[in-house]
Amino acid sequence: MRRNLVERLDRFGSVGDDQLKEWIDSEVLEWAGGEPLTASAKKRIADRLFHSFRGLDVLQPLMEDRSISEVMINRHDEVFIEQNGRVSRSPVRFESAEKLEDVIQSIVAKVNRVVNDASPIVDARLSDGSRVNVVLPPIALKGPTMTIRKFPDRPITVEELIRLGAIPEEAAEMLRRLVQAHYNIFIGGGTGSGKTTFLNALARFIPEDERVITIEDSAELHMDTIPNLVSLETRNANTEGKGEITIRDLIRSSLRMRPNRIIVGEVRGAEAMDMLQAMNTGHDGSLSTGHANSSVDMISRLETMVLSGADLPLPVVRSQIASALDIIIHLSRLKDKSRKVTEIQEVAGIRNGEVVLHPLYIFSEEEGGRLVPTGRRLLPTEKAKKAGLCTVERDAG
């Protein structure tokens, strides 16, 4: 049936989805004339044929299954999925490595990206917002490799995170006030800990009358509650090595776009310096994320990222970090596969040459595996007073 359809497409050239579906239905009906098939079985065959031309081929059913959060293709005949927090091998397989590469090329072309022998690694996204990473041979030794991180059909709200046990209501209410009081907030965590999801949820607290610029490697943020929103995305270099637009370029450009807040989807390198400078030059209330194992580790990683792109003394870098960041939130993926906020810490300045963190909430196993307040108050800054969360003077400690 597929060969017949390919011959038709070769004869008639490009056709729309509706026309292709008509051809597929007629092919299936003709072939099934002598086969005892139910209507649902015929529909599955027709869908599989359509997806092989216009969708993600054998991956389409996996993408439509909401219980699956990640699809990992190690090679054309080796597919793993994460379903309800557990990883297992799927019986799904592509016909060949060439078919898998065809699907990969279709995905990256739709977002104006290029992946080939000369540039074998690329990040892209699907139309539903799912994040895609591709690695081709010769870098990938087993054949074309693709990892797809799926996201919910709509952004998860803080109320839903509370219901799921990711954060207690009291801590969520404090974060709402901090966002509205223009605290600069940095979200850290490991891979798959839910940083982007949590950033999306926090952004819903931003007042509607503010202008927000989002900057990402691959657009994943969905901020449908902000009317005055500009979304920027990086661009890879072309085949001649020209035309690359980096996160650093976008941050610098965003400063001339009259933003109230700048949201950087994730910092991984030298762009950390530009992000800190943006936070230090009147763009209070900015948000960003990064990979780290703890809030203390996040400070160290930011120092390393800044030093990778700027020849500055370490005390100057630490001063920039302490001045720019107000709050660090850390997310973790626990042994039971749940994702929770495990630290909320205030950046309290510099002491003895080190950035000082004051824990406001800490995850405690002894307290039943939940986030508990430390009893420490926010420092008495103008922002804290604006948030209505500080009524006492700074104590001697």
CATH of 158-387, one of 3.30.70.1560, 3.40.50.300, 3.40.50.970, 3.40.50.1820: 3.40.50.300
- 21 three-state secondary structure: helix
Residue pair 202/287 in contact by the 8 Å Cβ criterion: yes
Q: What is the DSSP letter of 235?
A: B
pLDDT of residue 258: 92
d(CA 124, CA 139): 18
Q: Which of 386, 375, 282, 280 is nearest to 325 (CA)?
A: 280
Q: 62-150 domain in CATH 3.30.450.370?
A: yes
Q: Where are the domains of the chain?
A: 1-55, 62-150, 158-387
Q: Report, as ranges of residue numbers, the positions in the chain whose pLDDT lies below 50.
A: 391-397
As a whole number of angstroms, the distance between CA 390 and CA 174 comes to 11
Q: What is the structure's pLDDT at 282? A: 81
Alpha helices in the chain (DSSP H): 2-12, 17-31, 39-54, 60-64, 97-110, 158-163, 169-180, 195-203, 247-254, 271-279, 295-309, 314-324, 382-387
Number of H helices, E strands in the chain: 13, 15
Per the prediction, the chain carries an average pLDDT of 87
